[in-house]
Chain A
Amino acid sequence: MKTKIPLSLSVTRHLAQAVLSPQRAREEVLSLAPGEARGRFALEGILNVACLQLKAGQFHRFGDWLQHMAALMGEALKKESLLVCLPKYAFLELVRCLPSGGEGLFYALRSPEAYRQLLEGLGDYLCQLACEVFDALAQRYGVYLAAGVIPTRVGDSWRHRMYLFGGEGEPYTQDELSPGAFARQAGITPGEELAVKQTASGTFLLLGEEDLGYYEYLKIGAAMGADVVVTPSWENPDVMAAVDLPRLRAQEENLFVVRTAAVCDGLNPVVSGAYGPVALSRMRDGIIRETARGEEERVLTARLDLDRLHGLVDLEVAQRSPELEAQLRELYFPEGE
């Protein structure tokens, strides 16, 4: 069912396309100075990642936002980061830069109805714009860029699709498998596929923040060979829940989980971090690197040792129980299919 697009949104879309077309935005990104260093200088078996914990809503002009992104990317590249991760709704920063109504639209995240209206009115344009901009950023700086969620139309429905730009050809994408209540109320439908992206520098899996509630997705991803799970997040509603689930999932499945949050209204302290198996963390707590619980924008970098990860022995495999699995299978698929 299609929602009627309010006139203001329709006008905004035409204005936006006229002033900031996806192609023009791409060209502007590609005209950026490449900075002191470029990515792709990975050491074998080591993956340097950067979480850009952005402060939302700082810029109203695309050019200003882009210069700021260039500065942050430069910081990430100084630490030789090959994988750069953005927060969940990074694309909304582009909405805010639109010529009119951007600021109002930014508050779309305050209610599912407003978010749905944003998607119906501007969604296709925003998806195209965000893909062009983030793909160009990845290309310009020679990194893999996990660009958070970009709402994408699939048939008559909308998906919260996560994108990883920078590989050869099409970007790697993964839809949220268990969207949260807000997204579902806004009409976001769950994904139907789960896939990993193999690269020379590691095998990546993108998962939504709510997806981390389900160990099954990580288990499937790990069985497909994933060693780094990237989870884009927004402001943490609760520090404990936000911090600990990625860390605990990393320990359960013997892989790295990288989570990037955004600083929004400053009401909630946010945490971004890279987590891994206990044996690979300095304090034996599963934390590889983590931001302090604060409200500041910052670039967090972490060094993920994939060689050591592959050398770990999975004790759980030794304790597998076919009887337990049979019971689980029966309950997961009650009709016996």
Chain B
Amino acid sequence: MTPFEEELKQALKREDPGADFTARVLAKCTQADERAEHSFWRVSWLMPAWRVGAVAAGLIVLAGGTAYEHHQHEVKGMAAKRQLLLAMRIAGTKLQEVQERVKESEQVEQ
């Protein structure tokens, strides 16, 4: 090391931040620990409520969806029933017409 580097080393000697530095650091650390602990409990208390809310909302949506689907089923079923009755009525009328024609042609033959 050259004399200049020695001078530099002397110039850059460490300085002490003061006697109370360690106490201040420890106080800060304790505060940080307390804050971390507090936020941990706050989160752990809030979490179930948040989860319950989410589950309840999910159930409501699911129940609503099922009810809607059921209603849609009923509507479709009723429409199908109406169509079937109409078809049967038409078929019945047609059958009656055929029977009448058959009767008429028998009478003509006799």
Query: Do A and B truly interact?
Result: no
